[in-house]
Amino acid sequence: MGLIKDQTKVTALTLQEVTPTMPRWRWWRAVALGLVLSVPNAYWVMQVEGTWHSGHPTCISFFWNVGFTLMLLIFINLAIKQLLPFWALTQQEFVVIFVILTLVSSLPGHDCLQLGIPQMAMPFWYGIQNPTLRWQETFLNAMPTWLVVTDMTALRDLFFGNSSFYRLHYLQVWLPTILWWTAFSLALGAVYVGLMSLMRRQWTEHEKLSYPIIHIPLALTREGGRAEFFANKWFWWGFGLVAFLDLMNGLNAFYPSIPKIPVRHNDLQLRLDPLLYSMGRPWNAAAPPFFSFPLYPFIIALGYLIPLDIAFSMWFFYLLRKVLLIVTDWLGFFKGAGYIVSGPPYLLQQSYGAWLMLTVHTLWAARHYLKEVGREILRPTALSQQEPLSYRRAILLTLLGLAFLLWFSLRGGMSLWVALIYFGVFLGWSMAIAKCRAELGPPAHEIVGLNSANFIAHTIGMGRLTTREKVMMPLYWWFNGRGHRNHQMPIVLEGFKMAQVTGLNIKAFPLLMVICFGVGTLLAYWAALHQLYRIGGVNNPIGGGENPLIMHNWGQLNQLRAWIEAPEPVNPSGIIAIFIGAAIVEVLARLRGQFLWFPFHPAGYALALNFGVDYFWSCLLIASVLKFFVLRYGGQRTYQATLPFMYGLVLGEYTFGAFWSAASIIRQKPIYDFAPG
Instruction: Give the DSSP letter of residue 544.
Output: S
pLDDT at 392: 95
State the SS3 of 397-460.
HHHHHHHHHHHHHHHHCCCHHHHHHHHHHHHHHHHHHHHHHHHHCCCCCCCCCCCHHHHHHHHC
pLDDT at 545: 77
pLDDT at 19: 43
The whole-angstrom separation of Cα 418 and Cα 422 is 6
Give the tens place of pLDDT for each residue, 526-562: 999 999 999 999 988 777 678 888 888 888 999 999 9
Q: Where is average pLDDT lowest: 55-64, 360-369, 375-384, 543-552?
A: 543-552
pLDDT at 611: 85
The residue count for the chain: 677
Domain extents for the chain?
24-667
Confidence grade of residue 343 (pLDDT, cut at 50, 70, 90): confident
Residue 620 has pLDDT above 80, yes or no: yes
Confidence grade of residue 228 (pLDDT, cut at 50, 70, 90): confident
Give the tens place of pLDDT for each residue, 280-303: 999 998 888 889 999 999 999 999
The whole-angstrom separation of Cα 652 and Cα 382 is 45
Q: Give the mean model confidence (pLDDT) for residues 114-131.
A: 93
The whole-angstrom separation of Cα 209 and Cα 500 is 14
High-pLDDT (> 90) share of the chain, %: 83
Instruction: Give the DSSP letter of residue 131.
Output: G
- Three-state secondary-structure class, residue 601: coil
Confidence grade of residue 341 (pLDDT, cut at 50, 70, 90): low
Residue 11 has pLDDT above 60, yes or no: no
Residue 319 has pLDDT above 90, yes or no: yes
Handedness of CA 547, 561, 429, 288 (dihedral sign): negative
Q: Give the mean model confidence (pLDDT) for residues 361-370.
A: 96
Confidence grade of residue 385 (pLDDT, cut at 50, 70, 90): confident
pLDDT at 342: 66
Confidence grade of residue 340 (pLDDT, cut at 50, 70, 90): low
Q: Give the mean model confidence (pLDDT) for residues 391-412.
A: 97
Handedness of CA 259, 260, 261, 262 (dihedral sign): negative
Residue 9 has pLDDT above 70, yes or no: no
pLDDT at 192: 98
Residue 136 has pLDDT above 70, yes or no: yes
pLDDT at 2: 44
pLDDT at 500: 94
pLDDT at 20: 56
Rounded to the nearest integer, the mean pLDDT of the chain is 92
pLDDT at 335: 64
Q: Give the mean model confidence (pLDDT) for residues 614-623.
A: 96
Give the tens place of pLDDT for each residue, 579-610: 999 999 999 999 999 998 899 999 999 999 98
pLDDT at 336: 59
Distant-in-sequence, close-in-space partners of 307: CB < 8 Å, separation ≥ 6: 6, 7, 10, 210, 212, 440, 441, 601
pLDDT at 488: 98
558-568 burial, b at 16+ Cβ within 10 Å, e below that, comes to: ebbbebbeeee
